[in-house]
């Protein structure tokens, strides 16, 4: 780690005091190449309290507005956990001020908005990344390796993904995720984002051809989606299905079938334990003698990590930013591409919901 | 066990020397209230070899035809593992000869055929059961108890089930399950049967309202289904999805979401190990501090069994038959009802496949 700690440090500004910003503040502190440099809130008091309670360096700047963070020339990169409806405005302003962008998901209300954000980052030579933390867990890489192995997994046939958590009455009445003017996509944008990303990831980011909602979603009285289920179809008739909900107990399952193997994980979004994570595979299995068991047996794989996935995310983002700031690297566009693909699929599912569950063609 | 072994013994006749009959022969031997009494095959030689190789009692009768088994007055019950297209003929003949019926699945080519079989059993006062072995594992009961608990599981929201096994070229060219004149439903009848049963079971056997195939299935050149995926929808917009295939590696997953808990099992059809089986649950879980883990953690449940699920199936069936033969019990109609519900759903999925993936209303 000593070696890494001597890497140039990227200075983060944070917009707002969202709950998730506590987790990411800790992650910035844990990342060897990043430091919390500033936070801005519409309430200076709130920002001060947040900084004091979340381990900010004593030299960190605390501002009573978002604009002051943007105007601080020493801020390299912004972490933006604002409600989705505010992303377009603040991301564009940030890009104009040449701040690299770590954007909380759902990244935008639709792909039209996201395109404006991505264009602003690109034209200003800035790194963009969405804050989908599980992408950065070493387990995710291990699972991807398994699915990339023609002998252990073969060709993808089917994926099912879920992300749900059961919310209480306070959440249903007050949380930004159920407010049409703040996070209009509801659970589809919040938990569905992860399901869609998981499916794209399992398909090596090959976009499906069509999306179709499987049922009329459960809406709240304002028309925000609280629970829904959809299917995605590729050209060759591979199918993915997903379930996302605020109305079921916690689930974070991916079940992936290949011609020669299969994989399942139960906590892909947030591992049960921070330091070690599990997944299960089997390859070239068949029935045992007299069909009384499996041969070979499935495998349980354990992947350990010293620093949590959100700190690995910050580290990777800061590395990319550092390459641009201190070297002659260009922004890594992988992250904007998979972010856009995710949004495009979510938009198609939303369109299918809006058009009475008809299949919707997915266009990149 | 001594107590149980003194129970009246039910004498089984077996029609044919199917591979699966080896497993069930062992199960009859392991069951304390059942005995193998006769086997019939179109080839006497084949039947003799089968009896010799599968631990038949030395007194067991070996016949060169199915008819002789049916005509043997000492046979109480028949186990019928013939190709599906032969079920109607032999099940009806068996009922006319007053033989109780343990029928291998898929039980019939369609519900019209099954109704004739069920009617024949009913009008002759005979016990009917389909040979869906996992229904009889004590784990199945434990999982059902969990899903019935309003505090631990709540109300069902979503189910996903799979059953797949990857077959070789020999199977694809020769197995009865891919022959239109023998098992016309292909993998939908074979592996799909389990998925549909699992979904019905998770829904406490409440029939869904509609079935819809999610994609054009993969067919062989004779038009038999090798792989397919479908969704089932209830009145209140609960959804189930399933994936069944001969073209993926082994999978036997059920993932069930409830409002307060969820459950997952990876080997529901045939447990990895005969003597102990696992499943995983969580209840009233939420994110841990800073959303860096789960609280509480999920549970791994282990269920042990002294005798395998197929022997428990034989034991339960033989108990029911014994109650009729030696007591004044009536046939238990639970088994015909859930068998018929399973068939009705499979028929609706098949109809959706045949009509270009339109939703099909499910009628009992």
Tell me which of B237, B248, B285 to substitute to probe the interface with A (most A C-beta atoms closer than 10 Å). Answer: B248
Please check whether residue A281 is in contact with residue A296, taking contact to mean a CB–CB distance below 8 angstroms: no
Q: What is the pLDDT of residues B102-144, one digit of tens each?
A: 999 999 999 999 999 999 999 999 999 999 999 999 999 999 9
Nearby residues of A363 by Cβ (< 8 Å), 6 or more positions away: A344
| DSSP states along A36-71 | EEEEE-SSHHHHHHHHHHTT--TT-EEESSHHHHHH
Contact B187/A at CB under 8 A: no
Contact A137/B at CB under 8 A: no
Cβ-defined contact of A215 to B227 (cutoff 8 Å): no
Contact B214/A at CB under 8 A: yes
What value, to the nearest 5°, has the Cα angle with vertex B213 and ends B210 and B218?
Answer: 160
Size of interface A-B (CB pairs under 8 A): 201
Count of CA atoms in the C-beta half-sphere (13 A) of B265: 30
Per-residue pLDDT tens digits of chain B, which is 364 residues long: 334 445 679 999 999 999 999 999 999 999 999 999 999 999 999 999 999 999 999 999 999 999 999 999 999 999 999 999 999 999 999 999 999 999 999 999 999 999 999 999 999 999 999 999 999 999 999 999 999 999 999 999 999 999 999 999 999 999 999 999 998 899 999 999 999 999 999 999 999 999 999 999 999 999 999 999 999 999 988 999 999 999 999 999 999 999 999 999 999 999 999 999 999 999 999 999 899 999 999 999 999 999 999 999 999 999 999 999 999 999 999 999 999 999 999 999 999 999 999 999 999 8
Cβ-defined contact of B293 to A273 (cutoff 8 Å): yes
> CATH assignment of A2-132?
3.40.50.720
Neighbours of A46 (CB within 10 A): 15
| DSSP states along B310-343 | HHHHHHHHHHHHHHHHHS-PPP-THHHHHHHHHH
Instruction: Please tell me which of the candidates A23, A231, A258 has its beta carbon nearest to residue B292.
Output: A23
Give the residue among B253, B310, B303, B300 at the shortest CA–CA distance from B276.
B303
Contact A222/B at CB under 8 A: no
> CATH assignment of A135-308+342-361?
3.30.360.10
Q: What is the pLDDT of residues B70-105, one digit of tens each?
A: 999 999 999 999 999 999 999 999 999 999 999 999
Instruction: Please tell me which of the candidates B19, B253, B292 has its beta carbon nearest to residue A255.
Output: B253
Please check whether residue A266 is in contact with residue B254, taking contact to mean a CB–CB distance below 8 angstroms: no
What is the residue extent of each domain of chain A?
Answer: 2-132, 135-308+342-361
ipTM score for this prediction: 0.94
Domains B2-132 and B135-308+342-361 share a fold: no
CA distances from A176 to A58, A83, A188, A206, B358 (A): 31, 7, 14, 32, 37
Cβ-defined contact of A272 to B293 (cutoff 8 Å): yes
Cβ-defined contact of B249 to A273 (cutoff 8 Å): no
**Omega cis (within 30) before A296:** yes
- Nearest-angstrom CA–CA distance, A296 and A282: 8
């Amino acid at each position: 780690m000593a070696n890494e700690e001597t890497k140039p440090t990227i200075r983060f500004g944070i917009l707002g005091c969202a709950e998730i910003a506590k987790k990411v503040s800790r992650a910035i502190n844990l990342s060897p190449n990043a430091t919390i440099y500033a936070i801005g809130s519409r309430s200076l008091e709130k920002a001060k309290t947040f900084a004091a309670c979340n381990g900010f360096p004593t030299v960190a700047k605390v501002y009573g507005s978002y604009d002051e963070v943007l105007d601080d020339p020493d801020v390299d990169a912004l972490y933006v956990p604002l409600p989705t409806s505010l992303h377009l405005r603040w991301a564009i302003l940030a890009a104009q001020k040449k701040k690299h962008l770590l954007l909380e998901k759902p990244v935008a209300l639709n792909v039209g908005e996201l395109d404006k954000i991505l264009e602003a980052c690109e034209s200003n030579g800035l790194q963009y990344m969405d804050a989908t933390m599980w992408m950065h867990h070493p387990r995710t890489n291990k699972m991807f390796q398994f699915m990339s192995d023609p002998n252990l997994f073969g060709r993808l046939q089917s994926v099912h993904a879920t992300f749900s958590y059961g919310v209480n009455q306070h959440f249903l009445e007050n949380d930004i995720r159920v407010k049409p003017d703040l996070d209009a996509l509801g659970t589809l944008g919040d938990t569905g984002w992860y399901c869609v990303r998981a499916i794209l990831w399992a398909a090596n980011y090959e976009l499906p051809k069509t999306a179709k909602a499987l049922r009329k979603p459960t809406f709240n009285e304002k028309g925000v989606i609280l629970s829904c289920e959809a299917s995605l179809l590729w050209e060759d008739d591979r199918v993915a299905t997903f379930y996302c909900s605020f109305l079921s107990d916690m689930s974070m399952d991916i079940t992936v079938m290949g011609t020669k193997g299969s994989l399942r994980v139960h906590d892909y979004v947030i591992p049960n334990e921070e330091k070690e994570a599990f997944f299960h595979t089997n390859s070239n299995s068949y029935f045992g003698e007299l069909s009384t068991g499996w041969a070979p047996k499935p495998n349980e794989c354990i992947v350990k990590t010293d620093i949590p996935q959100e700190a690995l995310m910050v580290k990777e983002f800061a590395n990319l930013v550092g390459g641009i700031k201190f070297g002659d690297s260009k922004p890594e566009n992988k992250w904007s591409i998979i972010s856009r693909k995710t949004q495009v699929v979510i938009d198609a599912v939303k369109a299918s919901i809006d058009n009475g569950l008809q299949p919707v063609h997915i266009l990149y």
